[in-house]
Chain A
Amino acid sequence: MTTEITAIQAPIKRYFEDVEVGEELPKLVKAPVTHLQLVRYAGASGDFNPLHTDPKVGEMVGTGGIIAHGMLIMGFVGQLLSDYVGPTALRKFGVRFKGMTHLDDVITCTGVVTDKYEANGEARIVGKVQATDQNGDVKVTGTFEAALPHKSA
């Protein structure tokens, strides 16, 4: 089955021709994760699992205190992609959650372009992304695909 892609009215952030396979995305270093941020994220996202907000629950289940929502860390990586191609150029974005993030962890998001090709009349770039903490421990790995305009278009 093929899916028809509707043309999207959006500003152009980057052209297909400007992206090289092997190019690294500008690194994003986030501010340390805070308890207030997790409370705010819970309220915004609607994920009220107390594992992320109540220190007593965090102690009880043996996670070493409260842990960040995995989706918050995916959101950090989303910011990396949004800064790079713009939100409406994204066609696919997927991650695997590899490790727990604790308070005060400093998350760095990185990415690299791994392929370029044409599909469904669109020029696409494909890449890998990752989020790691201050010790280099991997929290999230993932992939993305984005549609970029040709310069001549």
Chain B
Amino acid sequence: MFDTSKVGQTFPPFTVEVYRNKIDELTTAIGDPNPIYHSREAAQAAGYPDVPLSPTSPTLFSFWGNRNGGRNLASVGINLARVLHGEEEYEYLAPIYPGDVLTGVSKIVEGRHRAGRDGSSMDIVTTETSYTNQHNQLVLKARTTIVVRE
């Protein structure tokens, strides 16, 4: 069960580099044929300096960059086998392009228990990760809410 005294806890920072080929892979899996995501030349021809992030590309920073994400959640009492994704939200604050090196800091911003009708209980926990780039500029905030069935 989630330890509600951990709301406000911040986890150690992680770094992640933005790779062009991961944006290509992700948008290919999504089935988005827009050429700006699949080639630098096409992106530049369209007026971008390089391949831009697709709207959900920040998920790459979470799964590939935040290698301790699972362990962090387990350390505050969350049973990873029972996690469902409840909500995901991004705030895009400044441009991010391939070659940028981002530093992410995750914090538990909300967490509570909720009793189910059948007497079971669930935890609803929101983590916010703030990303700064190599120029120490805040570029992105990602909020993830998970639902954990006890």
Give the interface of A toward B (CB within 8 A): 3, 5-6, 8-11, 30-31, 37, 40-41, 43-47, 70-72, 74-79, 81-83, 87-88, 90-97
Q: Once the chains bind, are B28 and A93 in contact (CB under 8 Å)? A: no
B84 contact set on A, CB distance < 8 A: 97
Quick one: CB contact mask for B47-84 with A, threshold 8 Å, 1 for yes?
11100111110011001100000000000000000001
Q: Is the Cβ of B63 less than 8 Å from the Cβ of A37?
A: no
Give a binary string over B32-44; 1 marks a CB under 8 Å from any A CB, 0 the rest. Answer: 1010100000000
Chain B contacts for A10, CB-based, 8 A: 47-48, 52, 95
Contact among A5, A46, A92 for B64, CB-based, below 8 A: A46
A39: min CB distance to chain B, Å: 9
Shortest distance from the beta carbon of B139 to any chain A beta carbon, whole Å: 9
Measured between beta carbons, the chain A residues less than 8 angstroms from B110 are: none
Tell whether, in the assembled complex, residue B59 and residue A45 are in contact, meaning their CB atoms are under 8 Å apart. Answer: yes
Contacts of B90 in A (CB 8 A): 90, 92-94
Please count how many residues in chain B sit with their CB below 8 Å of the partner chain's CB atoms.
39
Instruction: Give the interface centre of A9, A46, A72, A92 by most chain B CB atoms within 10 Å.
Output: A46
Residues of B within 8 A of A37 (CB): 29, 31
In the complex, whether B91 has a CB less than 8 A from a CB of chain A is: yes
- Would you call the interface of chain B mostly helix, strand, loop, or mixed? mixed
Chain B contacts for A94, CB-based, 8 A: 87-90, 143
Contact B26 A8 (CB under 8 A): no
CA distance A93 to B137 in the complex (A): 20
Contact indicator B31/A31 (Cβ below 8 Å): yes
* Chain B nearest Cβ from A146, distance in angstroms: 9
Residue B25 at the chain A interface, CB threshold 8 Å: yes
Bound CA span A114–B78, Å? 37
CB pairs A–B below 8 angstroms (6 shown): A37-B29, A40-B25, A72-B30, A79-B32, A79-B54, A87-B53
Distance (Å) between the CB of A129 and the closest chain B CB?
A: 10
Tell which of B30, B87, B94, B137 touches A97, judged by Cβ atoms closer than 8 Å.
B87
- Docked Cα-Cα span, A61 to B138, in Å, equals 40
List residues of chain A with CB within 8 A of the CB of B94: 5-6, 8
Chain A residues near B1: list those with CB within 8 A.
none
Out of A9, A72, A78, A96, which one reaches B54, CB within 8 Å?
A78
Least Cβ distance of B68 to chain A in Å? 14
- Contacting B29 at CB < 8 Å: which of A44, A90, A96? A44
Contact A96 B87 (CB under 8 A): yes
Contact across chains for A92 and B91 when beta carbons are under 8 A apart? yes
- Taking A44-B26, A46-B63, A93-B55 as contacts, is the C-beta distance between A75 and B32 under 8 angstroms? yes
Contact partners of A43 in chain B: CB under 8 A:
25, 29
**Is the Cβ of B29 less than 8 Å from the Cβ of A97?**
no
